[in-house]
Amino acid sequence: MKARKPNFKQTEIGMIPEEWEVKSIGECCFLINKSFQPSEANIRPYIGLEHIEQHNLRLTSIGSSKDIESNKFEFKAGQILFGKLRPYFRKVIRPKFDGVCSTDIWVIDTKEENDNAFFFYFLADQRIIDEANNSSEGTRMPRARWDYLEHLKFPIPPVPEQHAIAKILSDLDAKIELNQQMNKTLEEIGRAIFKEWFINFNFPNEEGKPYKSSGGEMVYNEELGKEIPKGWRVEGLLNFFNVIYGKNIATKDIMLNGKFPVFGGNGIIGYLNDYEYKEPVTLISCRGAASGKIIITSPCSNVTHNSLVLLPKNERLNSYFIYYLLKMSDITQCVTGSAQPQITIESLKSLKIIIPSNKILDQIRPLLKCIFLSKFHNETQIQTLSTIRDLLLPKLMSGKIRVPASMVEDKPIKE
């Protein structure tokens, strides 16, 4: 890609590329407030703020309109969704499907031939996030104001260059999405293997055939109320794992980007320049709505006090094994409290786990380790690509880095 020689001109907002124009956000974009009334006859995908990952421009999950009661907003594929409640969380996405969303989310479209993909990244630029935050009303539940943002003026490139900028950033996001899909597939493979070996008991026997299906000897276990392979046993979780609380890490010390991830009750919440756990560890979210969620950390990680950390006493009972075992257990039986759900070390004393023979544990370890190392590698790539995107974004939006419009055909991207 050959960079253009930068030529700038003086404008009311300072120096901008000579082909660009000064425009307000309202000249390029507008809000869509099409109301949606939930009904059993009209089920749609639903996006609330809880479904959007902080800062990273992607969905963590998708809800359903059958689970909501009050009116929401409709959106179309390709339109921009911008979380106006606590805008500093940078909850901005561009779904590929039609659906409905929370009224705490703006539905934004572009005017005339402007490129939706370009303005998605434009609105996700930290300059806009900061302005949205500055415009917020309310102290406990601050909400951004569109009537403030729409009058702000910025340098806007011609449409062909909008397409080119959007393509560069979209290509990075496409690779991020591919890695996420690969990790989803790896997780499904891991669960399928684990279920076949430790739920259906069809691990390979001495002849390499499925143990239970090939007539392997089973014995009745009273604690589980079912048969398990001969030689296996059921024990209390705390007999085989030391369980400790994560550290109370000050919010001010957690960075958006850094060397080593910090895991909270719902996953990675930021980064530090040092780590506590060299090897992956399994976590149980222990406070709030996420109580009971099972997470495995990447190598070289940190853990906050919102999670319990499981440290195996026996290296055969590794973090990979206990991750899937807990995923397939009824961990919710250990949740206490109604106003503030939690799981304590004390409440885990009642949790029983199945302990396979050492031979089977040794056989499964390299399989599960391979799956998780692949997932960790993909996660590292995701973080690197996200960092590159967010470093490029403000430079592309300001014209400090130019791209040739010939990179893409001159047509709007509003699909």
Angle between helical axes of 126-134 and 358-398 (0-180°, round to 10): 80
Question: What DSSP letter does each residue of 222-286 carry, written as one string?
Answer: TTTTEEEETT-EEEEGGGTEEEEEPB---GGG-BSS-SEEEEETTEEEEEESS-SBSS--EEEE-
What's the pLDDT tens digit per position in 305-327?
999 999 999 888 889 999 999 99
Contact predicate 1/403, CB 8 Å: yes
> What is the distance, to the nearest Å, from the Cα of residue 25 to the centroid of all Cα atoms in its chain?
29
Dist CA 283 CA 222 (whole Å): 28
Report percent pLDDT > 70 for the chain.
Answer: 96
Which CA distances in Å does 134 have to 13, 53, 146? 19, 21, 12
pTM score, two decimals?
A: 0.84
Closest CA relative to residue 82, chosen from 101, 98, 63: 101
3-class SS at 188? helix
Token couple for 147: 């009537």
Tokens of 131: 């302005």
- Residue 14's region, left for phi above 0, alpha for psi from -120 to 50, else beta, is left
Q: Which domains does the chain have, with CATH numbers?
A: 21-156 (3.90.220.20), 234-352 (3.90.220.20)
Indicate whether 341 pLDDT > 90: no
Helices 358-398 and 159-198 cross at an angle (nearest 10°) of 170
Question: Confidence band (pLDDT; 50, 70, 90) for 409?
Answer: low
What is the model's pLDDT at position 415? 45
pLDDT of 256 above 90 = no
Q: What is the pLDDT of residues 148-197, one digit of tens each?
A: 999 999 999 999 999 999 999 999 999 999 999 999 999 999 999 999 99
| pLDDT the model gives residue 405 | 67
pLDDT-derived band at 21 (thresholds 50, 70, 90) equals: very high
Q: Which of 171, 174, 158 is nearest to 399 (CA)?
A: 158
